[in-house]
Amino acid sequence: MESKQLGPGFAAEILGVDLSAAMSDGDFDAIKQIWLENKVAVFRDQNLSDNDLLRFTERFGPLFVHVRSQFNDKTRPGIMLISNIKENGRDLGELGNGDLAWHSDQSYSAEPVFATLMYAIEIPTEGGGTWFCDTARAYENLPEATKARIDGLKQNFSIEVTVETQHVALTEEQRQLKPPVTHPLVRTHPELGRKSLYLSPAHSTGLADLPADEGAALLAELEDWAGRPEFTYLHEWRVGDVVMWDNTSTMHRRDAFSADERRLLKRTGFELPPERAVPF
């Protein structure tokens, strides 16, 4: 399996793979290994049916279904539409055209999704890129004193924080499915044992067990550190791209794009096995 590094020490393009075709266990394992090591994997020039996308996603683990179900595909709820397009005056998908702040997907969940995949159908000519941050390398490169200072700290998350960046309000039922949660600030990779900063400013309500101002200052310091160029990669989308990322070891954000342009992606995800689904 051939791959090409895209970012500084992480994010790799996997070459010569057609995700719509039958794939041997050996090829699948090689892809999974490259993805785990690189945290973000990119496949270019794909032409996938919904079933192709779901089949590839489910091979890694149980299919994730988004709690904000308004834009889940009606017949295949494992697919969510991400789009700013309006059809007959109604939104075709979620998330509009604005900037989206750094986050790790579903960090507001007790058992956050392991990986997210996005498949690009329509892409604007300018803007709308996705920035990825390697939070494992950001952790590894911290001064030892900082590692000691943050060891054992916990962070609070809430789905409510995201409300202003979404354009469909949560229903009462959805809110009840996602009560506030607390996760370790430094988490261990469920398969590799590697440690990373578990940062997700778009869902965070602050550090637990610290005075609010001290916690906010520490989080801001860690988020600034992680956002440095040596830990980040900008993915500039092309039609046909499939990008999959490891939410345990990365966070991501999106640049805004013009409301006059069209952007449409199909999103899927897969879960961790139940015994390793809670961040530790």
Q: Which is nearer to Fe ion, 46 or 107 (CB)?
A: 107
Q: Which is nearer to Fe ion, 3 or 57 (CB)?
A: 57
Is residue 271 within the footprint of Fe ion (CB under 5 A)? Answer: no
**Among all residues, whose Cβ is closest to Fe ion?**
105
Secondary structure, 3-state, the chain: CCEEECCCCCCEEECCCCCCCCCCHHHHHHHHHHHHHHCEEEECCCCCCHHHHHHHHHHHCCECCCCCHHHECCCCCCCEEEECCEECCEECCEECCCCEEEECCCCCCCCCCCEEEEEEEECCCCCCCEEEEEHHHHHHCCCHHHHHHHCCCEEEECHHHHHHHCCCCCCHHHHHHCCCEEEECEEECCCCCCEEECCCCCCEEEECCCCHHHHHHHHHHHHHHHCCHHHEEEECCCCCCEEEEECCCEEEEECCCCCCCCCEEEEEEECCCHHHCCCC
Is residue 246 within the footprint of Fe ion (CB under 5 A)? Answer: no
Is residue 134 within the footprint of Fe ion (CB under 5 A)? Answer: no
Tell me the site size for Fe ion, rule CB under 5 A.
1
Q: Which is nearer to Fe ion, 13 or 105 (CB)?
A: 105
Q: Which is nearer to Fe ion, 3 or 263 (CB)?
A: 263
Q: Which is nearer to Fe ion, 105 or 134 (CB)?
A: 105
Site pattern 135..174 for Fe ion (x: CB under 5 A): ----------------------------------------
Site pattern 90..119 for Fe ion (x: CB under 5 A): ---------------x--------------
Which residues in 165-224 contact Fe ion (CB under 5 A)?
Answer: none
Binding site for Fe ion (CB under 5 A): 105
